[in-house]
Amino acid sequence: MTALLRTALTGLLLASVPAGSALAYDPAASSSGSYLAGRSAAKLRDNGHASDYLSNALKADAGNPILTEKIFLLELSEGNIARAEDLAAQVLTFNSQQRMARIVLGMKDFKGRRYEAARKNFEQSAYTPVGELTSWLLTAWSYAGEGELNPALKTLDRLDVNESFTNFKTFHEALIADYLGNAIRAEASYKKAYEAAGTSLRIVQAYGNFLARNNRGPEAQKIYTTYLESDVNPLIEAALAQSLKGVKPQPFIASPTEGAAEALFSLATSMSDDQSIDVALLYTQLGISLGADEDIMYTLLGDTYEDMKRYDEALEAYAKVPATSPLRVNADMEEAVVLQQLERKDDALAKLKAIVAADPKNYDAIVTLGNLYRANSDFANAATTYDQAIALLENPGPGNWRIFYYDGISHERLKQWDVAEKLFRKALELAPNESSVLNYLGYSMIEKKINLQEALDMVKKAVELKPNDGYITDSLGWAYFQLGDYEQAVIHCERAVELLPADPIIAEHLGDAYWRVGRRLEARFQWQHAKDNEPEPEDLKRIEDKLKNGLPDEQPVTPVQNTAPKTNG
């Protein structure tokens, strides 16, 4: 999860991935059976059933610290905040340094406006980098709750120990100063935050909101417009529309509780890898419990579940985005993507078609529909749909390279190479260093024996950009093979197999290279390896023929020069 409000334009191929198998809860299971089932469910991130089973096991072993702590975290991840608060108090009796337990109890005090007690819990959670960041942001907002600007800013100064905390510090300085009515300090911090991270959705929202509230509508509109030039976003579009009408917005942060929720949101969105996403879920659930910006928070919850492949729960989260929210259409699009992942392809297409029918100029919805067609190998409809999206672009910019790339893939798969090549070259014009485009176009030309030197240069550049990408490395090896430089082909194809040992086509290519340099036993081994890795039917037939007959005698390399004009699409 790299950002809120992802669309299918992020480059996801939307390959169908089955959801983790949920375990049906059996309340009659034995204590040991419940424990084992709970651990299995937890590994599948089926946190609801994991909590049920481990709670059942805890009945037979009351007070077990390991079980209690596990159940605490599971209940928190499910958004059962009251239960998590009770368990947090129990956890601290045997582990006074349990970070999340301190944060949960600190937030309980925060919501009750017991700010001093909240700070004591927050401070005791500040013994890891993420703990420090969490503690000092929430502590600063606790001082804001008491109307104390200087102690709040002094607390944020404690974030100076880590350079990566700078943007968090500056943004929350601005929000707290704004909330407490210090417009001069707020503006200075907003400007600094915007200069450092002007592509941040929340910074743009908050700074534009500040300007609009202070009768500086044109400045707010400029910030919104600049953002929209590179990223279509319904929240910014709505803010711009209101500003153009002269409507003065409500404060971006209207209470300390909303400020704390924003801190938790900031933290959760920064945790995008597989190791930290479980913590992101905990922070998101805590943020939701504060009742602020529910459309944003439920969108984030849906995104998080989607990244965790908990697709049914993602659907439930997206369904909670209010119908009146600017994010409702985005939630509908994400629901369609999730339905695709759940193999409910007809439902996914129907939902997206309905969105496009309601708004034929909804670029993101049209692109997402094209992505679903492409994921289903319906390249004819994919190409038509992408063409429709491209027609909406008056002045394509660098952020639009993917649509030309995806459209090029669709036309190439339809064997419409002249159209595809123009689209690929347009994508490269917009994003000259995009390795996926360089690789796809270069590889395609290699396969067609068109402009082989140019193709080789493209793939070399792609490898330089992504040296550990097995597919791109294989493309380089295959380029050398087509040029008849088999020794170089072996070097790069071997590296590709190291990077992607289970890919049948990469193994086949290495087998071909081995055959040409006289290493025929190794060639047959690689072809057998390719066969064993379940290639597509048409590829299997070719591989089996090589196992039986080897390669035909080498043909001279006579590259066909491309006669199509090298336009930019």
pLDDT band at 449 (very low <50, low <70, confident <90, very high): confident
Comparing CA positions, the residue from 509, 515, 519, 505 lying closest to residue 480 is: 509
Question: Residue 560 pairs with which residues in a beta bridge?
Answer: 450
- Got the DSSP string for 368-413? HHHHHHHHTT-HHHHHHHHHHHHHT-SS--GGGHHHHHHHHHHHHH
Query: What are the residue ranges of helices labelled H in 217-255?
Result: 217-228, 234-244
pLDDT of residue 45: 53
Buried b (16+ CB within 10 A) or exposed e, 199-223: ebbbbbbbbbbbbbbeeebebbbeb
- In the structure encoding, which two tokens stand for residue 516, read together? 């040409």
Q: Which of the pair, 93 or 30, is modelled with greater confidence?
A: 93
Neighbours of 479 (CB within 10 A): 26
Q: How far is CA 68 from the centre of its chain?
A: 32
- The DSSP secondary structure of 538-557, one letter per residue, reads HHHHHHHHHHHH-PPPPPP-
**183-189 mean pLDDT:** 97
What average pLDDT does this structure show over 322-331?
94
Burial of 106 (0-12, 13-18, 19+ CB in 10 A): buried
Residue whose structure tokens are 């989260």: 317
**Taking the CB of residue 310, how many other CB atoms lie within 10 A of it?**
24
**CB atoms near residue 163 (< 10 Å):** 8
What is the Cα–Cα distance from 46 to 74, expressed in whole angstroms? 9
Element (H, E) at 173: helix 166-179
Is residue 155's pLDDT more than 60? yes
342 touches 350 (CB < 8 A)? no
pLDDT for residue 59: 47
CA–CA gap between residue 569 and residue 550 (Å, rounded):
41
**Residue 536 reports pLDDT greater than 80:** yes
**Lowest-confidence region among 271-275, 437-441, 534-538, 550-554:** 271-275
What is the C-alpha separation between 515 and 535, in angstroms, rounded?
20
Q: What is the mean pLDDT of the chain?
A: 87
Read off the pLDDT band of 20 (50, 70, 90).
very low
Phi, psi of 53 (to 5 degrees): -65, -45
Rounded mean pLDDT, 363-374: 96
d(CA 272, CA 460): 30
What stretch of H or E contains 496?
Answer: helix 486-499
Q: Are 374 and 382 in contact (CB under 8 A)?
A: yes
Bridge partners (DSSP) of residue 450 are 560
pLDDT digits (tens, 9 = 90+) for 209-255: 999 999 999 999 999 999 998 888 999 999 999 999 999 999 999 99
How many C-beta neighbours within 10 Å does residue 195 have?
Answer: 10
* CA angle, 338 then 342 then 343, to 5°: 120
528 in Cβ contact with 416 (< 8 Å): no
The two three-digit tokens of residue 202, written as one number = 């929340």
CB atoms within 10 A of CB 486: 21
pLDDT tens digits along 99-108: 999 999 999 9
Type of residue numbered 177: A
What are 539-555's pLDDT values in tens digits? 999 999 999 999 998 76
Complete domains list, the chain, with CATH: 353-549 (1.25.40.10)
113-128 average pLDDT score: 95
Instruction: Return all residues near 494 (Cβ < 8 A) that are at least 6 apart.
Output: 477, 510
In this structure, are residues 343 and 337 in contact, taking their beta carbons and an 8 Å threshold?
A: no
CB 379 within 8 A of CB 408: no
Place of tokens 């064997």: 415
Distances from the Cα of 73 to the Cα of 21, 102, 107, 279, 498, angstroms = 21, 12, 15, 10, 39
Distance CA 133, CA 162 (A): 9
Rounded to an integer, what distance in angstroms lies between the CA atom of residue 375 and that of residue 14? 6
Structure tokens at 135: 């503690």
pLDDT average, residue stretch 290-302: 93
For 25-73, the pLDDT digits (tens) are 344 443 444 444 444 444 455 555 555 544 554 444 456 778 888 888 8
Mean pLDDT of 18-31: 41
Of residues 541, 542, 507, the one with CA closest to residue 527? 507
How far is it, in rounded angstroms, from Cα 36 to Cα 56? Answer: 11
Rounded CA-CA distance 119/106 in Å is 7
**Backbone conformation region of residue 292, classed left if phi is above 0, alpha if psi is from -120 to 50, else beta:** beta
Do residues 401 and 434 make contact, with C-beta atoms less than 8 angstroms apart?
yes
What's the Cα-to-Cα distance from 359 to each of 169, 340, 385, 412, rounded to whole Å?
A: 40, 21, 14, 29
**pLDDT given for residue 556 in this prediction:** 55
Tokens of 103: 């944060």
